[in-house]
A and B are shown apart, each in its own frame.
Chain A
């Protein structure tokens, strides 16, 4: 693994008094797609939020593109090309689809694919017809696409995707997989949290398993498949 895109060392995070992450360390190489697997409440979302600096109480070292970003505010980290797609979508419901995309817009970056409205509408065709519609008045699947498209508008070089398949109809999940593959073809690095193992298999080459705020397993997808005990102990499917 040359030139780590993102490297996280001894990340700890707490909500008020309750500590949730315990020394999480992980690494994503440039161009890689990695899955973060874990049950409900294992700490997947907290890991993402802590990496982006959305949790006040955290410690540890987060290096992105060779720069230590652990003390930077969230918007500064995002501006360096770290895209984040939250699990609960968090569409701006008062804004139109197009305005939602406008909020995410950032200048192009040399080390990342550049997205325009046109290219995004090509991947997420549903959004094209809905561009004038208020965010509150589109379906859950469409919201999921919008939230991804919105983050892509920032031309990130690494995308943190929090449970993209959660609560989606199978047909939409297929579309999502296709979209993610397109992003990978463009050279985008991906870090995807999932409970859906089948989904993770289709998009990721490497796996981290998290449980109770600790990394319990790290390896390639085939190494993971060779360890049914890990799957049985830390994942419930």
Chain B
């Protein structure tokens, strides 16, 4: 009994530090609508900077001031990033900021590696809180007690700031209606900057306070960002008390889940998030998202099917691509095959995200299901490659049917988070169900049939399937179904009043996107000859978003171009430097700042400016 009690109290201590990080994330989202993917990186920086400051200044200024200084240092870095980077892109399509913060996280990861080296750094104990007390016969660290007391204190402080200061009132007003606040003469720039600074401060504080509990290490950021996102979503985006409640729930789930399912306790958390979102679509204490006022001018040019020149250009590009194996060696052909597969994967996500306005954060689920479906059909059922690919698609479709049914009940960020939760659940099944999936060891020996075995032939097969699928996706985009999907994206209300059934249409869109992603996954399995849980990882889902956003969400199929560029770049960068994240992150930041409409979007804007689609002086 006492063991469980101590486990419970330990859970509370973890909840405290999780709350610090998650509340910052929630506050930032509430006002700026930015899902700050770099939040985990700031948390990690808090720990590393804390380590250094305590090491250098601890003897002079003392432990606690050093902790406080670290949080301020992290906040200063965050402020700089907000002013130099985010400010430029608040007007860009939603989610674009996600791309930018994702890039920041990449850069910070490698910088931390460069500055502090690869090994874990164990910080000192907190003075006065080094020992343990007796808790029902079990020893319990006094530092954890301190943390437990800290969380409600911070909660109360945040509450006071938001309720009792003019700044807090302005921030709450801006959370609700940014435009109106501006119309009343409030400079949102500084409001956003200060909110971002506060949020990042909390992350840095959380990281620094973690030092006496665990060593600063390079996996802290990813670990905490996923948990913090889950907490924020369960609690209700923008609700700090909700975040508090959710932090406790999640931490206790972890504390006890680890006793029951040691390997996959994190999945338990995602499962709970999925259930919460299905029962309460806006989180425990959150409120319905105000219908987002669509940013006017986000769509650069009207979507049109290719005319004759476009078709000829596309056909030429495919024909030209088909010639590649004649000129290039096997390695290069393999790389090109991979790029093609990711072009298809990105096109499927682009269809859902740009066409349907549905931002899936878990698109890798269907890619992975395609991989596993194909691999299992081949290895366990002894089917041929052709049938196995079909089996992969079928598994992806089934997954999308089931998961999609739940997801389309939500919208916006909540939709994104539910897709992420399902992807994590799929990942954990792949990871855990060792008998079928091989768990961590994956499934190996997934090779193509003899007729497609040479790199060149597999390349041609992939080219045919990818090009055909992308063409099909475009055709669907311009079919009546595609119009219905876009009508829902642009104005759900208006579309519904003219008789478009939102859920059914979006569900179908989800399934179509899932099916094409599964095809990409199946091809990938045969390209690599193996399948691992990585094929469903969060980072693959994020990669998909990066490719689509880089291409431009305002375009019909910019994702294809984004994928070609991003995948080639990342393959090239990884083979040429140990600090690939630093280089890639920096590149993305530059692209984001230079082309806030995406690469294809920027091209289209440039072209439409040239053809003189300016504001006309006469009526139409």
Contacts and interface: CB of A to CB of B under 8 A. Distances in A.
B184 A104 contact: yes
Contacts of A73: 182
A73 B189 CA distance: 11
A158 B466 CA distance: 60
The listed residue with most B CB atoms (<10 A of its CB), out of A16, A73, A213, is A16
B180 A57 contact: no
Given A16-B296, A19-B620, A92-B177, A103 B302 contact: no
Given A79-B185, A151-B184, A15 B296 contact: yes
A92 B618 CA distance: 38
Contacts of B177: 90, 92
Nearest to B613: A17
A73 B187 CA distance: 9
Interface stretch (A26-34, A48-56, A191-199): A48-56
Interface residues of A, number: 42
Contact of B180 (A23, A79, A86, A154): A86
A126 interface: no
A103 B184 contact: yes
B172 A16 contact: no
Contacts of B618: 22
Contacts of A100: 173
A19 B615 CA distance: 7
Nearest to A17: B302
A95 B617 CA distance: 43
Given A17-B302, A92-B177, A150 B184 contact: yes
A24 to B, nearest CB: 11
Contacts of A75: 182-188
B617 A78 contact: no
A14 interface: yes
B181 interface: yes
B184 A16 contact: no
The listed residue with most A CB atoms (<10 A of its CB), out of B184, B188, B297, is B184
A90 B182 contact: no
Interface in B89-108: 91
B450 to A, nearest CB: 53
Contacts of A16: 296-299
A183 to B, nearest CB: 17
Given A94-B172, A103-B169, A214 B187 contact: no
Interface residues of B, number: 33
The listed residue with most A CB atoms (<10 A of its CB), out of B172, B180, B613, is B180
Nearest to B490: A16
A57 B172 contact: no
A175 interface: no
A65 interface: no
Contacts of A76: 187
A52 B616 CA distance: 21
A12 B172 CA distance: 33
Given A19-B615, A90-B180, A56 B297 contact: yes
Contact of B617 (A12, A13, A84, A86): A12
Nearest to B186: A75
A87 interface: no
Given A12-B615, A92-B173, A78 B183 contact: yes
B77 to A, nearest CB: 27
A86 B183 contact: yes
A212 interface: yes
B615 A57 contact: yes
A97 to B, nearest CB: 12
Contacts of A213: 619
Contacts of B185: 75, 78-79, 104, 106, 154
Given A57-B297, A94-B172, A103-B173, A74 B182 contact: yes
Contact of A52 (B183, B188, B299, B617): B183
B180 A92 contact: yes
Nearest to A78: B185
A222 interface: no
Interface string B283-303: 000000000000111110110
A170 to B, nearest CB: 28
Contacts of B298: 16
Contacts of A14: 297, 615
The listed residue with most B CB atoms (<10 A of its CB), out of A14, A54, A76, A103, is A103
Contacts of B187: 75-76
A220 interface: no
Nearest to A10: B617
B179 A103 contact: no
Contacts of A154: 184-185
B166 A102 contact: yes
A56 B188 CA distance: 16
A59 interface: yes
B170 interface: yes
B617 A22 contact: yes
B138 interface: no
Contact of A214 (B175, B296, B619): B619
Contacts of B91: 56
B176 interface: yes
Interface string A187-229: 0000000000000000000000000111000000000000000
A75 to B, nearest CB: 5
A46 to B, nearest CB: 11
Contacts of B169: 95, 99, 102-103
A78 B182 contact: yes
Contacts of A55: 296
B368 to A, nearest CB: 37
Contacts of A95: 169, 172-173, 176
Contacts of B180: 86, 90, 92
The listed residue with most A CB atoms (<10 A of its CB), out of B175, B176, B183, B295, is B183
Nearest to B183: A84
Contacts of A104: 184-185
Interface string B597-617: 000000000000000010111
The listed residue with most B CB atoms (<10 A of its CB), out of A10, A22, A58, A76, is A22
A79 B181 CA distance: 12
A40 interface: no
Given A95-B172, A95-B173, A102-B166, 20 more contacts: A14-B297, A14-B615, A16-B296, A22-B618, A22-B619, A23-B617, A54-B182, A54-B183, A78-B182, A78-B183, A78-B185, A84-B183, A92-B176, A92-B177, A92-B180, A95-B176, A100-B173, A102-B169, A154-B184, A214-B619
25 contacts: A12-B615, A12-B616, A13-B615, A15-B296, A19-B615, A19-B620, A22-B617, A22-B618, A54-B179, A54-B183, A56-B297, A58-B615, A75-B182, A75-B187, A79-B185, A84-B183, A90-B180, A94-B172, A94-B175, A99-B169, A102-B166, A103-B184, A104-B185, A106-B184, A154-B185
Interface of A: 10, 12-17, 19, 22-23, 52, 54-59, 73-76, 78-79, 84, 86, 90, 92-95, 99-100, 102-104, 106, 150-151, 154, 212-214
